[in-house]
Amino acid sequence: MEVGGQVRDLTIVGSYQDITNGGKTAKSVLPTQGNDVMWYVVGVALAPGTDAAATAQAYGDQLAPAKVHDIEQWRAQTLRPIARQMTVTAAISAVVAVALVGLMTALFTRMILARDAGPIAVQRALGADDGGLRAQYVTRTVLVLALGVVVGAVAAATLGEAMFNLMFEGLYGGMEALGRGTSRIDFAVDPLLTYVLLPAALLGSVSLVTAASARSLSDARISALTTD
């Protein structure tokens, strides 16, 4: 690296996570001549109770051409586009997951109904009501779903962050970066979304799809049963 006209060998002894800069960044503190410096960043800590926006405005007026930002504003400017993208990505994954669960439920229900065609035909012949039989299948898949949601939520809450960070490290750093601890993204869990809305969406998708697929059990007829 060239610093102040001099080539210097720098050894990277540590890095930190920086999602705006390809995953990680390292910083060094070096003496320089003032002319080559592109910009200075000066952090200002305000005393508690100070009006940040008003202070920023006042400094900005006094220190032009320096740009003075409230840290909140700065954060919004640098991170908002990424945050927005991540929100969209998360929303799309959620929708796709619910749709996939629905699709798998439909296929699974069809398979189970095909397997149970005999017993269903017999029960219908004896006088079992189609709605009642359908309800049995809906209950069964909903129970499985409930179990899955509980296991999934617990796994996400305990292993989720670690897995996500591992994935992130692999994504940016390749295999050798795995487990180095470069990525330390903490999940900001929205309890309403995570533990209420998403399970409710899954529940709705699964029960509707099962009920719809199970309509075909009305086709199971004793007259179509082949004798052993």
Partner 1 sequence: MTTSTPVLDARGLTKAFDGTTVLHGVDLQVHDGELVAVMGPSGSGKSTLLHTISGMDTMTGGTVSVAGQDLGSLSQKQLARLRLTTMGFVFQHGHLLTNLCLLDNVVLPAYLACLAPREELNRRALALMERMGVAGLATRDVSEASGGQLQRIGICRALINEPTIVLGDEPTGALDSTAAAEVLDILGEINAEGTTVVLVTHDATVAARADRVLYMVDGRIVADRQQGRCAAVDLERRHGGVAAWLTELQPRSAVLGPV
Ligand X SMILES: Nc1ncnc2c1ncn2[C@@H]1O[C@H](COP(=O)(O)OP(=O)(O)OP(=O)(O)O)[C@@H](O)[C@H]1O
User: Which residues contact partner 1 (rule: CB under 8 A)?
Assistant: 118-119, 122-132, 218, 221-223, 225, 227-228
Residue closer to partner 1 (CB basis): 209 or 220: 220
Of 203, 206, 194, 205, the closest CA to residue 90 belongs to 194
Residue 124 partner contact from partner 1, ligand X, none using kind-dependent CB cut-offs of 5 to 8 Å: partner 1
Burial of 112 (0-12, 13-18, 19+ CB in 10 A): middle
Of 155, 149, 157, 158, the closest CA to residue 196 belongs to 149
Sign for the CA dihedral angle at 190, 194, 195, 201 comes to: positive
Residue 151 partner contact from ligand X, partner 1, none using kind-dependent CB cut-offs of 5 to 8 Å: none
Q: With binding defined as CB under 6 A, does residue 162 bind ligand X? A: no
Residue 119 partner contact from ligand X, partner 1, none using kind-dependent CB cut-offs of 5 to 8 Å: partner 1
- Token look-up 């005393």 returns 47
Residue closer to ligand X (CB basis): 18 or 219: 219
Q: With binding defined as CB under 6 A, does residue 33 bind ligand X? A: no
Residue 109 partner contact from ligand X, partner 1, none using kind-dependent CB cut-offs of 5 to 8 Å: none
Contact assessment for residue 66 and residue 60, using Cβ atoms and an 8 Å cutoff: yes
The DSSP code sequence of 141-177 is HHHHHHHHHHHHHHHHHHTHHHHHHHHHHHHHH-GGG
Closest approach, Cβ 126 to partner 1, in A, equals 5
Q: With binding defined as CB under 6 A, does residue 224 bind ligand X? A: yes
Q: With binding defined as CB under 6 A, does residue 225 bind ligand X? A: no
Chain residues in the site for ligand X (CB under 6 A): 223-224
